[in-house]
């Protein structure tokens, strides 16, 4: 946690600052996404969707949020 | 007669798998999928645009409850990248049926078979059902099958080239030797190419660019559906033997 109690995280390469105690589910909502349509990797580890509500983001975390796009 | 094929315990009627890349828009993509009759579409796994999360999404146009999404690893050049991508895909969609491709170089998009084999083993051990893009090499195909590939998907020609099936002999040898479905993946340019693949005994054909880059993709999608069905029927019906010279179709007896 940083001095002001917020968590500085990287989401898909972009820096964001979130309030302390933010869960992954809240982070996804903050970004404006539907948690049922994305997968989340936290510091290179998959976060199971069933735990989105429980896992709390921490200062320095790096997230990848992905979804399906057109491809061959 | 119902003619179905089964991969990793899932049974499908359509033998055409289509990609969802390179289309003008999602509407055209969805219309082409509909016209193709495909029950499986390949999809890629990419970062969500966090700056603009309200952009339309593929799932709004092609319903994953009706059409099986086959996540791919396009753009991955190492086993690790491909495995990471498919772990995310499984979490995003809950599917274990996946398309593995590990590329060797950007110029030819030829598969790196050493990495592909390594990734196939790891994925199979993690419970994935990998359908594997590979070279048209009957020995490599056997090795992939032993490593846990649920389908062998040799290229007919380089990805996106539309050159048609370059080596009929190796595709036929792979089909003869395989105990899992064989699908030509990549290289099809037009309907006759798809028919050729099916006449060789392939279980199916996977294509993207041939449909997406046609002037009328929806019409080409229908052409491909018919070509795959025609080729399959021709294969099942057992074609005539080839002769070196002519053989008249009308009786010679009773000539005036």
Catalytic residues of B: 99
Would you call B133 an interface residue with chain A, using a CB distance cutoff of 8 Å?
A: no
pLDDT at B241: 95
Query: Contact B88/A70, CB-based, under 8 Å?
Result: no
Q: Is B187 annotated as a binding residue?
A: yes
Residues of B whose CB is below 8 A from A44: 84
Residue A1: pLDDT band (50, 70, 90) is: low
Q: Side-chain half-sphere of B242: how many Cα atoms within 13 Å?
A: 1
Q: In angstroms, rounded to a whole number, what is the distance separating the alpha carbons of residues B46 and B48?
A: 6
> Collapsing DSSP states into helix, strand and coil, what is residue A9?
strand
> Which among B49, B50, B91 has the least Cβ separation from residue A46?
B91
User: Rounded to a whole number, what is the distance in angstroms from the first to the last CA of chain B?
Assistant: 44
> Which among B64, B88, B159 has the least Cβ separation from residue A46?
B88
Residue A5: pLDDT band (50, 70, 90) is: confident
Would you call B89 an interface residue with chain A, using a CB distance cutoff of 8 Å?
A: yes
Query: Contact A65/B50, CB-based, under 8 Å?
Result: yes
Query: Contact A32/B54, CB-based, under 8 Å?
Result: yes
Return the closest-CA partner of residue A69 out of A39, A35, A31, A30. A39
Residues of A whose CB is below 8 A from B45: 39, 66-69
A17-63 pLDDT, tens digit per residue, is: 999 999 999 999 998 998 888 999 999 999 999 999 999 999 999 99
Residues of A whose CB is below 8 A from B57: 37, 67-69
Residue in the structure block whose two tokens are 């089909």 = B175
Would you call A56 an interface residue with chain B, using a CB distance cutoff of 8 Å?
A: no
Structure tokens, B95: 């599917």
**Residue B44 φ/ψ region, left for φ over 0, alpha for ψ in the -120 to 50 degree band, beta for the rest:** beta
**Closest-CA residue in chain B for A72?**
B19
Q: In angstroms, rounded to a whole number, what is the distance separating the alpha carbons of residues B76 and B78?
A: 6
**Closest-CA residue in chain A for B100?**
A72
- Kindly state the average pLDDT of the residues B177-183: 97
So what's the ipTM on this one?
A: 0.90
Domain boundaries, chain A: 6-67
Max distance between CA atoms of chain A, in angstroms, equals 47
B33-45 pLDDT, tens digit per residue, is: 999 999 999 999 9
Residues of A whose CB is below 8 A from B21: 70-72
B63-102 pLDDT, tens digit per residue, is: 999 999 999 999 999 999 999 999 999 998 878 999 999 9
Structure tokens, B153: 């998907």
B122: which residues sit within 8 A by CB, 6+ positions away?
B79, B83
> Collapsing DSSP states into helix, strand and coil, what is residue B34?
helix
**What are φ and ψ of residue B205, in 5° steps?**
-135, 140
Question: What CATH number labels A6-67?
Answer: 3.10.20.30
> CA separation (Å) from B92 to A39, B43, B65, B159, B243?
4, 12, 14, 26, 55
Q: Would you list the DSSP string of B118-178? A: HHHHHHHHTT-EEEEEE-S-HHHHHHHHHHT-SEEEE-SSSTT-----S-HHHHHHHHHH-
Q: Which of residues 47-76 of B touch A (CB under 8 A)?
A: 47-51, 53-54, 57-59, 64, 69, 71-72, 74
| pTM reported for the whole predicted model | 0.92
Residues B62, B93: contact at Cβ < 8 Å? Answer: no
Q: Which of residues 7-26 of A touch B (CB under 8 A)?
A: 11-14
Query: Contact A72/B209, CB-based, under 8 Å?
Result: yes
B149-177 pLDDT, tens digit per residue, is: 999 999 999 999 999 999 999 999 999 99
């Amino acid at each position: 946690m940083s001095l002001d109690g917020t968590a500085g995280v990287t989401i898909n390469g972009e820096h964001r600052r979130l309030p302390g105690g933010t869960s992954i589910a809240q982070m996804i909502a903050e970004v404006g996404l539907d948690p049922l349509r994305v997968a989340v990797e936290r510091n290179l580890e998959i976060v199971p969707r069933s735990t989105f509500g429980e896992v709390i983001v921490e200062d320095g975390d790096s997230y990848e949020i992905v979804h399906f796009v057109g491809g061959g | 007669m119902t003619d179905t094929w089964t991969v990793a315990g899932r049974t499908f009627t359509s033998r055409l798998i289509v990609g969802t890349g390179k289309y003008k828009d999602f509407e055209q993509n969805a219309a082409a999928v509909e016209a193709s009759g495909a029950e499986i579409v390949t999809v890629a796994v990419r970062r969500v645009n966090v700056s603009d999360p309200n952009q339309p999404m593929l799932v709004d146009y092609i319903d994953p409850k009706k059409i099986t999404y086959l996540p791919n690893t396009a753009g991955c050049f190492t086993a690790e990248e491909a495995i990471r991508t498919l772990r995310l895909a499984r979490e995003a969609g809950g599917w274990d049926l996946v398309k593995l491709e590990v590329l060797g170089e950007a110029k030819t998009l030829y598969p790196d078979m050493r990495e592909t084999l390594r990734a196939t083993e790891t994925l199979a051990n993690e419970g994935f059902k990998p359908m594997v893009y590979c070279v048209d090499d009957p020995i490599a195909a056997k090795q992939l099958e032993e490593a846990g590939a649920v389908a062998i998907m040799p290229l007919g020609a380089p990805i996106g080239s539309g050159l048609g099936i370059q080596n009929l002999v190796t595709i036929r040898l792979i089909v003869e030797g395989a105990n899992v479905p064989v699908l030509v993946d990549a290289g099809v340019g037009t309907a006759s190419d798809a028919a050729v693949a099916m006449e060789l005994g392939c279980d199916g054909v996977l294509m993207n660019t041939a449909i997406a880059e046609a002037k009328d993709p929806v019409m080409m999608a229908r052409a491909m559906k018919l070509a795959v069905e025609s080729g399959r029927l021709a294969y099942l019906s057992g074609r005539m033997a080839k002769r070196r010279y002519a053989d008249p179709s009308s009786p010679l007896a009773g000539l005036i």
